[in-house]
Amino acid sequence: MTQVVVGENEGLESALRRFKRQVSKAGIFADMKRLRHFETPIEKKKRKAIARRRKRKMY
């Protein structure tokens, strides 16, 4: 769960920016998009294979 504590002298805009950064870093929106529709086993295998290739390419 992402949580942002707003300081006394901190503006709402900066707290919102920090929250958005934490949410994107945690990958919450990507998970929401992925879980929005049913994913067949073949689609799941393709997604995992692409992720493996991407991870292997990084190293």
pLDDT on residue 6: 92
Q: How many domains does the chain have?
A: 1
pLDDT on residue 17: 94
Q: Is residue 5 part of a domain?
A: no
Spans in the chain with pLDDT lower than 50: none
Taking the model in full, what pTM does it have?
A: 0.57
Q: Is residue 22 part of a domain?
A: yes
Q: Is residue 1 part of a domain?
A: no
Q: Is residue 17 part of a domain?
A: yes
Task: Give the chain's count of helices (H) and strands (E).
Answer: 3, 0
Q: Is residue 46 part of a domain?
A: yes
pLDDT on residue 53: 93
Its domain, for residue 23, covers: 12-58
Contact of 32 with 2, CB cutoff 8 Å = no
Contact of 23 with 8, CB cutoff 8 Å = no
